[in-house]
Amino acid sequence: MKIRGIAQSIAEAIKQEMERNDRIVVVGEDVTYWGAVFGFTMGLFEKFGRKRVFDTPITEQTFMGMAVGAATAGLHPVVSLMFVDFLGAGFDQMYNHMAKNYYMSGGQFPMPVTIITAIGGGYGDSSQHSQVLYGLFAHLPGFKVVVPSTPYDAKGLVTKALRDPNPVVVFGHKLLTGLPFLPFEGTEEEVPDEPYEVEFGKAVLRREGNDLTIISAGLMVHRSLRAAEMLQRDGISTEIIDLRTLIPLDEETIVKSAKKTGRVLIVDEDYMSYGMTGEVAFRIQAKALKDLKVPIARLAVPDVPIPFSEPLENTVIPNVERIYNEARKLYQES
């Protein structure tokens, strides 16, 4: 079937896995009638009812703790964290229990929990509703970190998450959901009706090129592709890598591309310092330093809160023009 955006794909994956596995339950704020607001659980309450899909109060610490307990008892909770910005309210349950219980129990208690959360700015929702923050989860051992950019990947990656015995956090960018009340920068594409998996730790080439490599995830993949079209008009052939998952990270694909083009720009919507761009840059230089023609460049959100003001927000979140300018500058430096 043809699907516009990632929200319907995520909901479809959960529905099909709930049909297959009666241990899967869905919890969180407004997951019933509102579909978790961003559509990730739409239609599930109508199909499965309140015994398997139920709303919680606005108490992240409580429903993350419920998920840990339910997973320990043999269920597979799907937890909606409506905005990733509020992860702090449930941090202790996620960081000290969900991520560590399997290790601390000597493997006695698997922790099959799938967290689905909305990320990103670009529509004027200000500092507390516009962050990405997947770097925080990628930093801590115990979580797998998934960032789908297309409807096909969203369904396959979420299906994979729901068959994984470990905690997986799925970060769905709001501007890729395809919902009518938000700007849309994603894609509409054919998605198989039947269930399928997309492997974790396998990046994908969204565009092949020879002159430089742009590495990104989520919304930034689409903006990088548009920048690549502009670069092509300047005669610069650009390769675009969509990471798909940060944990595990497909080091082989990014190093191979870096060796091929010799020029690497890493584009991210998370904060610059101590984030994804620094980690990926280190992995590349460790294995491809002699092949680089210029130092690796990074474009990410500077260390400031996301502004409400549209001009200021556009200044801090990488847009197509800034990606184009940074890539062009990188190419001209060598």
pTM over 0.95: yes
Give the model's pLDDT for residue 333: 85
Q: How many CB atoms lie within 10 A of CB 24?
A: 22
For 98-144, the pLDDT digits (tens) are 999 999 999 999 999 999 999 999 999 999 999 999 999 999 999 99
User: Which of helix, strand or coil describes residue 167?
Assistant: coil
Give the model's pLDDT for residue 266: 98
Give the model's pLDDT for residue 170: 98
For 62-81, the pLDDT digits (tens) are 999 999 999 999 999 999 99
Give the catalytic positions in this structure.
129
Q: What is the dihedral angle through the alpha carbons of 111, 116, 121, 125, rounded to the nearest 10 degrees? A: -110
Taking the C-alpha atoms of residue 104 and residue 123, their distance in angstroms, rounded to an integer, is: 42
**Residue 19 to residues 12, 47, 71, 179: CA-CA distances in angstroms?**
11, 10, 18, 25
- Tokens encoding 257: 């591309």
Give the model's pLDDT for residue 284: 98
Q: Which residues pair with 116 in a beta bridge?
A: 80, 170
Low-confidence ranges of the chain (pLDDT < 50): none
How many alpha carbons fall within 13 Å on the CB side of residue 313?
A: 17
Residue the block writes with tokens 């009340």: 181
